[in-house]
Amino acid sequence: MNGERARILVVDDEESIRSFLQRVLQEAGYDVATAANGQEALNKITESGASVVCLDIKMPGISGMEVLRQIMANWPQTCVIMATAVADAQTAVDAMKLGAYDYITKPFNRDNVLLTIKRAIEKRNLLLENERHRSELEKRVGEQTERLQQQFVELVETLAREQRLIYRLAYSQRGGKELLSRLPKELQEPLSSVEEYSEALIRILRRGIVKPSRASRDSSKGSRG
């Protein structure tokens, strides 16, 4: 992912500024596209995507702030750097509150532009890497949950078979009923299906969680006495 060549989209209604930024960024090794207005910018992002958008705040037609809102809503992993005159610095700060990564002021300083672009790409790569890790973790958790559910089903099926076997043996031997009486009451009757056995286990577990049996309380009192 980090090895991909970053695609930068420069959006400005002034051709001289677009040409300057395109030349500076291409010399630095970036894949650069340009757009002269907000609608063209949105069209190009839709068609080809962009790692970073260098976006002028004041443009005719769709404003830079509106373009920023649409990018944040539809392509939240794209880093947006606002371009503005010094006098509009507060507007750039407001843009950052809407999700812009940073801003650069006109007239542009070449080194500052490149440093800001570099940091924006690093942030984007980090976001993408975190998203990849999250997706992989969710996948592993889902797979593990599925395995545990299957193991639980197999365990219940085994226990259900054992319960049916115990019930048959108990009624085929002397004293067998006494053996059944030692089991929880939910298991003292024949259970015809795995579902019935599973429901019986749940009732047993719930009863144990809610409160101990009376016999257990009496036994506990006796041991303290």
Phi and psi at residue 166, to the nearest 5°: -60, -40
pLDDT digits (tens, 9 = 90+) for 131-143: 888 888 888 888 8
- Residue 71 and residue 47 in contact, taking contact as beta carbons nearer than 8 Å: no
pLDDT digits (tens, 9 = 90+) for 28-69: 999 999 999 999 999 999 999 999 999 999 888 899 999 999
Cα 131 versus chain centre, distance: 7
Domain identity same for 76 and 11: yes
Establish if 121 belongs to a structural domain. Answer: no
Domain identity same for 92 and 11: yes
Among all chains, which residue has been given the structure tokens 């319960």? 163
Establish if 113 belongs to a structural domain. Answer: no
Domain identity same for 86 and 153: no
Report the CATH number that the domain containing residue 42 is assigned in CATH.
3.40.50.2300
Helices and strands of the chain, counted as H and E runs: 8, 5
The boundaries of the domain holding residue 15 are: 7-108
Q: What average pLDDT is seen over the chain? A: 82
Domain identity same for 12 and 101: yes
